[in-house]
C-alpha cells in the first residue's frame, strides 16, 4: 500500500508561491522570531538614551541600554478537510488533483482570509487606541485626508510605510479635484493606467477585494464581515510596528484505505498564524473607515 503524501513538503515552494500571490499582506510577515514555547514567541526591542552635554574635563556620559522581550502567543488556528470519492479521481493523476485542490483553496479562501484577519486586527487596534477616523471619502476630500493620516506616521520614514486602501478610496484619489493630472495616449492600443501607486514616498496598495477589508469579521465558516463592523477606507502601517507570523501550514492527502472516513481521498489543510501590533509602536498604525449611517 502506498504511503500518504504530505503535499506541503512535496510541493512546498509551489504552495508558498500560490499563497503569497493570493495575499496582499505578505510584506508584513516577520521573518525571524525567537520561539519560547509551542505557541509563544518573542521579539526583542532595544531602547537607548540619547546624547548628553560633553565635558572637556575628560570622560563620556554613560547612556542606558534597555532590552525588552514582549511575548506574543498565536491564537488563530484554522483547518478544513475535503473528501473526494475515488471514482471522481483518476488514479494516475492523484498528485495533480491534490495540487489543483490546494491551489484553488489557497487562492479563493486561505489567502483572502489571512488578509481579512490581519486587516481586522490592525484596524481594531487602531480603533481601540483612538487612531481611527470615521469619514465618508469623496473626490474633494480624499487627497487631504490621506495626507493628514500619512503625516501622523511620517516620523517612521516613508520607505517604512505602506498604505492599503479600498478601491472606492483609490477611485476617489484617481479623480481627486485637489491635484491636476494629464493623461496622454500616444499610440493606438496603448493601455491607460491611472491608479496612484505612491503618495509622498508611501506605497499605496489597492485592496481590490472589498470583502476582506473590514474592521471585524465572523470566522465561523470562512469569513464574512461581522455585524457592526466598518468598511475600511485605508490602513497606513509602519511595517516595524507589526509582528505577523505563520507557524504551521500543512496539507495532506490520504489515499483510500489510509483512513477510515470512506472509500475516497481525504484532503486536509491547516494554517496556524497570527498578527500583533507591538505595544511600543502602536502609534505606527492609522486607520480611516466609513462613517456609520445615521439613524
More confident residue, 97 or 2: 97
- Asked if the structure places residue 134 within a domain, the reply is yes
- Asked if the structure places residue 63 within a domain, the reply is no
- Asked if the structure places residue 238 within a domain, the reply is yes
- Asked if the structure places residue 295 within a domain, the reply is no
What are the helix (H) ranges across 216-292? none
The residue to which cell 499605496 is assigned: 204
Give me the pLDDT at residue 261, please. 83
Give me the pLDDT at residue 84, please. 77
- Asked if the structure places residue 57 within a domain, the reply is no
- Asked if the structure places residue 81 within a domain, the reply is yes
Q: Do 41 and 245 form a contact (C-beta atoms < 8 A)? A: yes
Q: CA 279 to CA 145: how far, in whole Å?
A: 26
Give me the pLDDT at residue 2, please. 39
Give me the pLDDT at residue 92, please. 45
**Mind listing the pLDDT tens digit for each residue in 232-274?**
999 999 999 998 888 877 778 777 777 888 777 788 888 888 9
How confident is the model over 158-172, as a mean pLDDT?
94
Q: How many domains does the chain fold into?
A: 1
Question: Residue 120 is part of which domain span?
Answer: 7-34+77-180+194-289
- Asked if the structure places residue 68 within a domain, the reply is no
Confidence of residue 179 (pLDDT cuts 50, 70, 90): confident
How many CA atoms are closer than 13 Å to the CA of 67, on its beta-carbon side?
Answer: 3
What is this structure's pTM? 0.83
Q: How many Å from the N-terminal Cα to the C-terminal Cα in the chain?
A: 65
- Asked if the structure places residue 188 within a domain, the reply is no
**Mind listing the pLDDT tens digit for each residue in 110-135?**
889 999 999 999 999 999 999 999 99
Amino acid at each position: 500500500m502506498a504511503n500518504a503524501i504530505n503535499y506541503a513538503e512535496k510541493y512546498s515552494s509551489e504552495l508558498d508561491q500560490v499563497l503569497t500571490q493570493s495575499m496582499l499582506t505578505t510584506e508584513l510577515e516577520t521573518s525571524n522570531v525567537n520561539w519560547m514555547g509551542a505557541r509563544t514567541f518573542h521579539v526583542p526591542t532595544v531602547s537607548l538614551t540619547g546624547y548628553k552635554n560633553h565635558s572637556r574635563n575628560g570622560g563620556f556620559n554613560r547612556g542606558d541600554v534597555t532590552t525588552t522581550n514582549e511575548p506574543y502567543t498565536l491564537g488563530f488556528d484554522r483547518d478544513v478537510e475535503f473528501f473526494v470519492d475515488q471514482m471522481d479521481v483518476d488514479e494516475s493523476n492523484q498528485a495533480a488533483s491534490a495540487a489543483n485542490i490546494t491551489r484553488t483553496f489557497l487562492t479563493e479562501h486561505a489567502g483572502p482570509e489571512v488578509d481579512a484577519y490581519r486587516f481586522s486586527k490592525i484596524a481594531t487596534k487602531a480603533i481601540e487606541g483612538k487612531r481611527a477616523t470615521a469619514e465618508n471619502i469623496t473626490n474633494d476630500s480624499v487627497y487631504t485626508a490621506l495626507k493628514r493620516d500619512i503625516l501622523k506616521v511620517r516620523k517612521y520614514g516613508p520607505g517604512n510605510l505602506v498604505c492599503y486602501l479600498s478601491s472606492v478610496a483609490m477611485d476617489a484619489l484617481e479623480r481627486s479635484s485637489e491635484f491636476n493630472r494629464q493623461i496622454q495616449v500616444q499610440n493606438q492600443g496603448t493601455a491607460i493606467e491611472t491608479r496612484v501607486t505612491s503618495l509622498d514616498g508611501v506605497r499605496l496598495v489597492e485592496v481590490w477585494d472589498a470583502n476582506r477589508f473590514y474592521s471585524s469579521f465572523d470566522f465561523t465558516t470562512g469569513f464574512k464581515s461581522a455585524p457592526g463592523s466598518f468598511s475600511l477606507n485605508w490602513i497606513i502601517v509602519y511595517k516595524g510596528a507589526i509582528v505577523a507570523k505563520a507557524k504551521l501550514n500543512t496539507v495532506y492527502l490520504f489515499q483510500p484505505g489510509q483512513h477510515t472516513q470512506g472509500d475516497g481521498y481525504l484532503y486536509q489543510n491547516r494554517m496556524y498564524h497570527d498578527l500583533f501590533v507591538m505595544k511600543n509602536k502602536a502609534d505606527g498604525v492609522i486607520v480611516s473607515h466609513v462613517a456609520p449611517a445615521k439613524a
